[in-house]
Amino acid sequence: MGPRQPKRGRTKTTPNQRKEQNMTQAQKILNHLQNGNSITAIDALNNFGCFRLAARISDLKKDGWDIKSEPWTTPGGATIAKYTLPLYAKHKGKAEDSKLELADHDDLTGICWN
């Protein structure tokens, strides 16, 4: 017998792909925000298959994340919410629950924002 062949129609997944598959929608959204990205409902649907972004944002806020929303006008003229996680944001929950280690707002004095 030769080497074992993968089953047809199945592709081998990498460890990063398996980790991504096991993350909840809220974890994926939080990771996206922690990487400095903003997100809208259409982004959440296209990138994470999330139909209820506002509910996931509410869950994250209840968990202590200081997520901000601002109105954003689409090219078609509709106004929707755009969510961001500020650079100075800290998780307000238990320290061991937080994966975000950022400076206090006071620690950011002296940084030039251009």
Q: What is the pLDDT of residues 60-90, one digit of tens each?
A: 999 999 999 999 999 999 999 999 999 876 6
Q: How many residues does the chain have?
A: 114
The predicted pLDDT at position 38 comes to 97
The span from the first CA to the last CA of the chain, in angstroms, equals 64
Closest CA to 39 of 53, 20, 25, 51: 53
Provide the residue range defining the domain that includes 32.
23-91+98-106
The predicted pLDDT at position 43 comes to 96
- Position 16 in a domain: no
Quote the pTM value.
Answer: 0.62
- Position 83 in a domain: yes
- Position 45 in a domain: yes
- Position 7 in a domain: no
pLDDT at residue 98 tops 50? no
pLDDT at residue 101 tops 50? no
Closest CA to 67 of 79, 80, 54: 54
Residue type, 98: S
- Position 40 in a domain: yes
Helix (H/G/I), strand (E/B), else coil: 71: strand
On average, the pLDDT of the chain sits at: 78
- Position 74 in a domain: yes
- Position 72 in a domain: yes
Task: State how many domains the chain has.
Answer: 1
pLDDT at residue 25 tops 60? yes
CATH number at residue 66: 1.10.10.10
Q: What is the pLDDT of residues 39-48, one digit of tens each?
A: 999 999 999 9
| CA gap 92, 64 in Å, rounded | 4
**DSSP, res 39:** B
